[in-house]
């Protein structure tokens, strides 16, 4: 059996053969075709696509065909060069944290309240003087042009369609000014500070000049990372990487990055974008260098959450970098309660890493999060269909969130309270 492109389909032929065996009596069955039916059901895929069952012989061809965000991932896999897909998909080492982010949601159950009027649902979120139609934010992810030629411009237009807050990465592939124009509203800027304060100051000043309302300082990139999925997929990529990427560091100097954020800044003395020397004093210097709201992204402990509040930061993003910064092994949803308790209401607490469903978002909001940021899902949409894919991914998440809020008995985000979630 071949697929629609005339290629031999091993999976399809295996299913067809085993179904024949089951139906012919050559295989003993315990019931009426259970084995055949099971074989017809798509299995979970091996790495790097592990999140949902799907049939690779029948990929969606338009965004509207998608019934959940997972439908976009195999289409992106087909469209995007292997090394680029591997970079997006990879975690660290055995990818324990990557999987923990999804599995963590299974440890929490919703406790819905009944007989509440949810005929009208207000999903809006207000933060830092800006109002958004939804608490679902776009987490910062780098290099969008590696997934689609329109890159962050397409992503920003997708975010605009649903009035989502968007955090743009230092490693953006279009100028921040152009992305802001495409979004039609102020962005948040995610900062890779590096060990050179002059670089951080340059980035912060440019972001503020571009109209950003907040800077989210990433604090979980203090060392190297072993991205094995990326390394394996790089070996299957036949392109010449230097056609798109600058060479690596030479003589201890960081080669000029492709990101436009580095235009006009001296990166001499830097071998990478890690911030291995960053301390609370460094963060104070960043806070003092801008009038933007200052956020810390990457907090995973009550101790650091309290210090963030004590040091005058305006918000926290509970994050493990989507499982791609280190292999700590815990999920962010499991970390959220201790961070919220440590902050004691002194600042908003946001969260990212592993969010794929409306019920995931509801659990975090009920536990006290102000907003929830998603990353890989909208990249799947971008790599699959460009702007239209991003728009549809975010639309599906909003649809699921509304249904989950109605079922929980919450007509507003504020009506989602801790009593609606239990740990099991």
CATH code, domain carrying 126: 3.20.20.70
Domain containing 303 equals: 89-241+255-423
Q: Specify the DSSP class assigned to residue 254.
A: P
Q: Is residue 28 part of a domain?
A: no
If the chain, 424 residues long, is cut into consecutive pieces of 10 residues, what is the mean pLDDT of each piece? 47 48 40 46 58 76 96 95 94 94 97 98 98 98 97 98 98 98 98 96 98 98 90 88 60 60 92 93 97 98 97 97 93 98 97 98 98 98 98 98 98 98 97
Residue 44 falls inside a structural domain: no
Residues with catalytic function? 321
Domain-embedded: residue 99: yes
pLDDT at residue 49 in the model: 63
Q: Residue 258: its pLDDT value, please?
A: 74
| Residue whose C-alpha is closest to residue 85's, from 99, 75, 100 | 75
Distance CA 176, CA 259 (A): 10
- Non-local CB neighbours of 175 within 8 Å, separated by 6+ positions: 260
Query: Hey, what are 212's tokens?
Result: 């950003």
pLDDT of residue 164: 98
Q: Which uninterrupted H or E stretch holds 371? A: strand 371-374
Q: Where are the alpha helices (H) located in 173-301, listed in sequence order?
A: 176-183, 197-209, 228-234, 280-288
Q: Count the domains in the chain.
A: 1
Distance CA 364, CA 68 (A): 20
Residue 306 lies in a domain: yes
Indicate whether 11 belongs to any domain: no
Instruction: Check residue 240 and give its pLDDT.
Output: 76
pLDDT of residue 238: 86
User: What is the predicted pLDDT for the residue at 24?
Assistant: 40
pLDDT at residue number 55: 75
CA distance 136 to 398: 8
Strand boundaries in 120-263, DSSP class E: 125-127, 130-132, 136-138, 167-168, 188-191, 214-218
Radius of gyration of the chain (CA): 22
pLDDT reported for residue 239: 79
Question: 157: Cβ–Cβ under 8 A, 6 or more apart, which residues?
Answer: 182, 183, 387, 390, 391
pLDDT, residue 292, reads 98
Is 162 inside a domain boundary? yes
Could you say which DSSP state residue 321 is in?
G
DSSP-derived 3-state class of residue 316? strand
In a domain, 388, yes or no: yes
Nearest-angstrom CA–CA distance, 289 and 282: 11
- The predicted pLDDT at position 28 comes to 40
Asked, for residue 167, whether it belongs to a domain, the answer is yes
Cα separation of 371 and 214, whole Å? 14
Report d(CA 274, CA 194) in Å as an integer.
5
């Amino acid at each position: 059996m071949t697929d629609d492109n005339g290629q031999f389909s091993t999976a399809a032929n295996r299913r067809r053969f085993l179904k024949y065996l089951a139906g012919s009596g050559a295989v003993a069955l315990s019931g009426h075709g259970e084995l055949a039916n099971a074989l017809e059901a798509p299995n979970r895929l091996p790495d790097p696509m592990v999140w949902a069952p799907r049939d690779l012989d029948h990929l969606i061809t338009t965004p509207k065909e998608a019934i959940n965000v997972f439908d976009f991932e195999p289409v992106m896999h087909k469209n995007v060069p292997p090394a680029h897909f591997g970079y997006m998909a990879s975690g660290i080492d055995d990818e324990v944290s990557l999987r923990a982010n999804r599995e963590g949601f299974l440890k929490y159950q919703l406790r819905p309240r009944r007989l509440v009027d949810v005929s009208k649902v207000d999903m809006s979120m207000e933060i830092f003087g800006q109002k958004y139609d939804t608490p679902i934010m776009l987490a910062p992810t780098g290099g969008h042009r590696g997934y689609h030629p329109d890159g962050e411009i397409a992503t920003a237009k997708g975010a605009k369609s649903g009035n989502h807050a968007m955090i743009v990465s230092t490693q953006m592939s279009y100028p921040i000014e152009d992305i802001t124009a495409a979004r039609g509203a102020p962005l948040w800027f995610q900062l890779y500070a590096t060990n050179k304060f002059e670089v951080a100051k340059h980035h912060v000043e440019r972001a503020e000049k571009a109209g950003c309302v907040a800077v989210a300082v990433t604090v979980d990139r203090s060392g190297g990372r072993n991205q094995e999925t990326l390394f394996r997929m790089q070996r299957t990529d036949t392109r010449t990487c230097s056609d798109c990427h600058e060479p690596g560091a030479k003589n201890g100097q960081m080669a000029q990055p492709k990101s436009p954020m580095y235009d006009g800044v001296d990166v001499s003395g830097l071998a990478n974008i890690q911030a291995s020397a960053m301390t609370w004093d460094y963060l104070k210097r960043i806070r003092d260098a801008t009038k933007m709201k200052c956020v810390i992204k990457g907090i995973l402990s009550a101790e650091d959450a309290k210090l963030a509040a004590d040091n005058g930061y305006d918000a926290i993003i509970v994050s493990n970098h989507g499982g791609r910064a280190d292999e700590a092994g815990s999920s962010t949803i499991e970390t959220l309660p201790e961070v919220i308790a440590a902050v004691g209401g002194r600042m908003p607490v946001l969260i990212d890493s592993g969010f794929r469903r409306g019920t995931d978002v509801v659990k975090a909001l009920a536990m006290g999060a102000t907003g929830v940021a998603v990353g890989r899902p909208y990249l799947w949409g971008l790599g699959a269909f460009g702007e239209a894919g991003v728009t549809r991914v975010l639309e599906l998440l909003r649809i699921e969130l509304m249904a989950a809020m109605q079922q929980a008995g919450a007509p507003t985000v504020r009506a989602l309270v801790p009593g609606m979630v239990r740990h099991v």
